[in-house]
Copies of this chain bind each other. A is one copy, B any other.
Amino acid sequence: MTGRDGVVTLRPFLRKLSQLVQLQSGDTDAVELLQFKIAQVARQRDAIARGETVSYLYVVLEGWAARYSLRPDGTRRITGFLLPGDFCGIHAVCHAPMDHAIVALTDCTLAKIELTQVEALVADSPMIGRALWYAKLIDEAILRTWVLNSSDAVRTLAHLLCELDARLHHGTDIEAGPRRFDLPITQEQIGDALGLTSVHINRCFRHLREADLVDITQGRLTIPDVEALRKAAAFDPTYLHWRGDGSGRR
């Protein structure tokens, strides 16, 4: 994340970890002392290719990225969104090649932390090791939910919007009321994620708009009534496992 003075820090990563576990004194410093490289990846470019054997942990600092694979017929399927603070490349721990690829959906800033640094960090700070496990379990839970929701396109789209809202606003303004966030991706990318065509995503957005569940203007999404949207989507945020039921404040 680029601060006001242009310095890039691992702040988003730290924020994510602290939502998952109660960091112990020293853990924060240990993370902030991590050495890392910066990778700028332009929109639509792969950050990690399928088959690559990575030796870094990649942390998204700015922008949106996604995991994806190619279907036999050449079409792309996105299997997860990576938002600021999210990481990928844990395959490095097992020296296993990536079975999927990572693409930048928008221009992205990534931190590349060497595996040895991560291993030292975990050895030093067991809570962080636990946080990494926890984050992976949540990744899996999100994926399970995607499998689960494969029926009724409108509800599926609504559910995805709820997921993104919850993940972007984790720990902030839990109270009901209108919410807003940038949705910097195209309807085609959303279609790739949900296994639907962009045409149909568009139709689904119209349904949601006409039901006053969402409003979207130039890349910015507004949810007038989160509870209403969650109800329509049958969205239950517990699978995201926010510490203390969403009150992720430290």
The interface residues of chain B lying within 8 Å CB-to-CB of A136 are 136, 140
Q: A198 near B: Cβ within 8 Å?
A: no
Compute how far the CA of A222 lies from the CA of B95 in the bound complex, rounded to whole angstroms. 35
Asked, given contacts A140-B139, A238-B99, whether A79 binds B134 with beta carbons under 8 Å apart, the answer is no
Provide the main secondary structure of the chain A interface.
Answer: helix
Q: Is the CB of A137 within 8 A of B91?
A: yes
Pick the contact of A150 from B140, B143, B150 — CB < 8 Å? B150
How far apart are the CA atoms of A137 and B91 in the complex, in Å? 7
| Residues of chain B contacted by A234 (CB below 8 angstroms) | 72
Given A99-B238, A99-B241, A241-B99, are A94 and B144 neighbors across the interface (CB < 8 Å)? Answer: no
- Our pick among B97, B139, B143 for the contact of A147 (Cβ within 8 Å) is B143
Q: Across the interface, which residues of B come within 8 angstroms of A139, CB to CB?
A: 140
Q: Are A143 and B143 in contact (CB under 8 A)?
A: yes
Which residues from chain B contact A148 at a C-beta distance below 8 Å?
Answer: 69, 71, 77, 79
Q: A100 within 8 Å of B by Cβ?
A: yes
Interface size on A, as a range, is 35 or more
> Given the complex of chains A and B, what is the CA–CA distance between A21 and B146 in angstroms?
30
For residues 90 through 125 of chain A, which have their beta carbon under 8 Å from a beta carbon of chain B? 90-91, 93-94, 96-97, 99-100
Which 4 residue pairs of A and B lie closest in terms of their CB atoms, listed nearest first?
A72-B234, A99-B239, A94-B134, A79-B144
Q: Can you list 26 A-B contacts with CB-CB less than 8 angstroms, sorted by A residue number?
A: A21-B94, A67-B144, A69-B144, A71-B148, A71-B151, A79-B144, A79-B147, A79-B148, A90-B137, A94-B130, A94-B133, A94-B134, A94-B137, A94-B241, A96-B134, A96-B137, A97-B238, A99-B141, A99-B144, A100-B141, A136-B136, A140-B140, A143-B144, A143-B147, A147-B147, A151-B195
